[in-house]
Copies of this chain bind each other. A is one copy, B any other.
Amino acid sequence: MRYGLLVEGAPYSSQASHSALRFAAALIAKGHRLESVFFYHDGVYNAARLVAPPQDEPHLYDAWCSLNAEHGTRLQVCIAAALRRGLLDAREADRHGKAGHSVESPFELTGLGQLIDLGRAVDRLVTFAP
């Protein structure tokens, strides 16, 4: 089956990201395909490129990147939710006249329409909330 995940919790603050990553690994191991993870609400904070978690905690950012690298899962971040939380890629930073950026590939800023498309394209969309 084709799956999509909707992640709405900030990393480390809530267990949502941990649960979603665990579920992602399990569904892929069972032979399903994970098309995309869409980050919304505080879930957009998962895309913050500068995270420096303690050594003895899971590195959630790297885990998302691995999911993308190994399985081609897209990491889509709601742009409206991201901008008001300080998450800008180089293009948006430029457009808003800010020096520096806080989001980069493989995370991509996209419109909410991509969440609707995802919901239409996949067989199952599972939400992990804070």
Q: A residues near B, CB below 8 A?
A: 10-13, 41-42, 45, 48-54, 57, 61, 80, 83-88, 92-93, 96, 98, 100-102
Contacts and interface: CB of A to CB of B under 8 A. Distances in A.
Work out how many copies of this chain go into the complex.
Answer: 2
Contacts of A101: 50, 100
Nearest to A81: B12
Given A45-B86, A84-B57, A102-B86, A52 B96 contact: yes
A61 B101 CA distance: 17
Given A45-B45, A50-B100, A86-B102, 14 more contacts: A10-B85, A11-B85, A12-B84, A12-B85, A45-B85, A49-B98, A50-B93, A50-B96, A50-B98, A51-B85, A52-B98, A53-B83, A54-B84, A100-B101
Contacts of A88: 50, 52
Going nearest first, the 8 A-B pairs with the smallest beta carbon separation are: A48-B86, A51-B86, A53-B84, A52-B83, A50-B86, A52-B96, A100-B100, A12-B84
